[in-house]
Amino acid sequence: MCGIAGFLGANQLHSKEEQPVLLKRMTDTIVTRGPDDAGHWCDSEHGVGLGHRRLSIIDLSPAGHQPMHAASGRYAIVFNGEIYNHLLLRRQLECDERAPAWRGHSDTETLLAGFDVWGIQGTIERAIGMFAIAVWDRETHTLTLARDRIGEKPLYYGWQGSGSNAVFLFGSELKALRVHPAFEDVIDRGALSLQLRHNYIPAPYSIYKGISKLPPGCMLTVSSRQREPKVWSYWSGLQQAEYGSENPFKWTPEQAVDELESLLKDAVRAQMMADVPLGAFLSGGVDSSTVVALMQAQSSRPVKTFSIGFHEKGFNEAEYAKAVAQHLGTDHTELYVTAAQAMSVIPQLQSIYDEPFSDSSQIPTFLVSQLAKKHVTVSLSGDAGDELFCGYNRYQMTARLWNKLSMAPLPIRRLAAKGITGVPVGKWNKLAGDLESFLPSSMKLANPGDKLHKGAGVMSSESLEALYLGLVSHWDDPAAVVIGGHEPATLLTDKDQFSSRLSGIERMMALDMLTYLPDDILVKVDRAAMSVSLETRVPFLDHRVVEFAWRLPQSVKLRDGVSKWVLRQVLYRHVPKALIERPKMGFGVPIGEWLRGPLRDWAEALLDETRLHNEGFFRPAGVRKKWEEHLSGRRNWQYHIWDVLMFQSWLEQRDGNAGSSSYLTQDRFSDETHRYAASAS
């Protein structure tokens, strides 16, 4: 795991002597991605620079230093990630008598040898792994970028400047691009609108105009002659989903379980390859427990596992993780985190995530990464099990809801929704309170008016996709609150981009695999772990597992109402069912409660009406209305408010005003959170 950065076209702006200095400035910003080594290479004649920060995982010797050059001299590469089958690729080259004289045993050298024989795309298509790659071809004077199939590793790019002063920039994180003198620093209000809807900015967009994220499974070429980047897909998750759905395996459920266990064992074994200490995150849920069980089954010593716990019962999974760890015999480390410790992370979030990102589980994700880094350099995780094996409750809930809603004509549903929202939330709550003594306990709800208004919002959906978009959205109409905001098309909103060849539940799973997984889950884990120089690996995202999962019949994923049935059966061969079966629990923190309590002054400073007006990004009235309703307890707008706060906090740091609000400083956070902890106890 490393960090990369570079440029093309700098010869018009900077001298031969200045280019390496500039490249070093770019890579120094991402030092936590690679604290062990740094390298820089420039071809001043063509204005190209490749920079690298190294976190040494495989081949710790100088033979793994980057940028690295092919034996032929044609290619120069900087590479972030791991190629798990690189030894097999080496053997294939050796069997064909086309291998170079190996200088070391790094996967970077294997890639370069493959480029010489199979070409860049041919090599990448053979590779199993996670990666963001930049390659300079000295023969064609072309820069090629490539990103892994699902999007574990980030890669930003774009032209900045104009005319002869334009420079093509790329890097693992935006902060590496921002220090380049050509960077234009113009906020994209459409991307901001997307962040308010989703709590993340989906690829190919970024918070800056002119800067894009390379989509998963894609490659890009650019040169001084071909300034418009050519982007194409070498692997398509959507095509794999469609093919798998239309060509399912003709297996019995037992055969499906056998095959899945065999494939997952192989994927886990490959990802245990490392020359440094290795462990795994363990929540005690199905996905992480399966990964750890298969690790322990193939390890001669106890696997190091890590979990964090919270004293708040509704947010604590540590006791379940501990039970699984004890059964498997892992070397388990757990840390119970106080609310004060969790909130102390908030001032660091903007430097960690680099662009507005508001999935509040970013806080515990950072904490468990920080814990693991004290003991290991690599940690495996159970991410992606829900998307591949139908694990989210919303899949079944949305399908059932749409089946019922679609039976009523749309005009009638819209009329009913208008009637519900015509009654204020407070009046619904009062009515429910008056009737509470007459209702059975199963029908008693907290804040029923809030839930009725939310439910009314989905009643007027025109399609299953529209219903699903509403259910996974935060702000329903973010462009109405973002001044000059206009939501660009995404897979979730552009019907022309998405296929009708999948069933309803399959469409939701595919949408999550292509959007929510790479743009939220994987971003959250990558940035949190890399901020403490920890490499994370995701066995479920071995593309062979992804392709296999899509060819499994839906009946073995969702069976008799049981989600992830086939994956559960693999796990139950290693862990008793009684240790796993429990209601699904999110990996979150009580943000809503904190915003009404110890975070209130900090949030109020960022949401000040005059401040919002002067900054000119949000229409203050809509933001203030939700904030005041949340504070009063009339509505729970925690996610909406957190979306705005994460942009405001990011904007404050970008403008160099961190600390201009007295409530943003680390000292102030410590005072407020310790006071909260004392009162809570």
Catalytic residues: 2
Q: Which residues contact 142 (CB under 8 A, 6 or more apart)?
A: 136, 221, 222, 223, 226
Report the C-alpha gap between 303 and 328 in whole angstroms.
9
The amino acid present at 556, given as its one-letter code, is V
Report the C-alpha gap between 464 and 165 in whole angstroms.
48
Any bridge partners for residue 51, and if so which?
5, 40
Integer distance in angstroms from the first to the last C-alpha of the chain?
41
* 586 marked as part of a ligand binding site: no
* 381 marked as part of a ligand binding site: yes
Q: How far is CA 48 from CA 77, 134, 165, 317, 378, in A?
A: 12, 11, 14, 49, 32
* 283 marked as part of a ligand binding site: no
Question: Residues 158, 150: contact at Cβ < 8 Å?
Answer: no
- The widest CA-to-CA distance across the chain, in whole angstroms, is 83
| 12, two tokens | 């018009």
* 308 marked as part of a ligand binding site: yes
Distance from chain centroid for Cα 325: 26
Report the C-alpha gap between 275 and 378 in whole angstroms.
10
| 608, two tokens | 């000040």
SS3 (DSSP) at 377 = coil
* DSSP string computed for 531-595: TTT-EEE-GGGSHHHHHHHHHS-HHHHSBTTBTTHHHHHHHHTTS-GGGT-S----S---HHHHH
Give me the sign of the Cα torsion angle 384, 232, 51, 179. negative
Burial zone of 160 (CB within 10 Å; 0-12 exposed, 13-18 middle, 19+ buried):
buried
Report the C-alpha gap between 594 and 409 in whole angstroms.
42
Q: Which of 511, 270, 541 is nearest to 381 (CA)?
A: 541
- Quick count: other Cβ atoms within 10 Å of Cβ 462? 11
DSSP assigned state of 247: S
What is the chain's percent helix, strand, coil content, to nearest 5? Answer: 50, 15, 35
The amino acid present at 235, given as its one-letter code, is W
- Residues that constitute the known binding site for L-glutamine: 107
- Residues that constitute the known binding site for ATP: 308, 381-382
- Residues that constitute the known binding site: 107, 308, 381-382
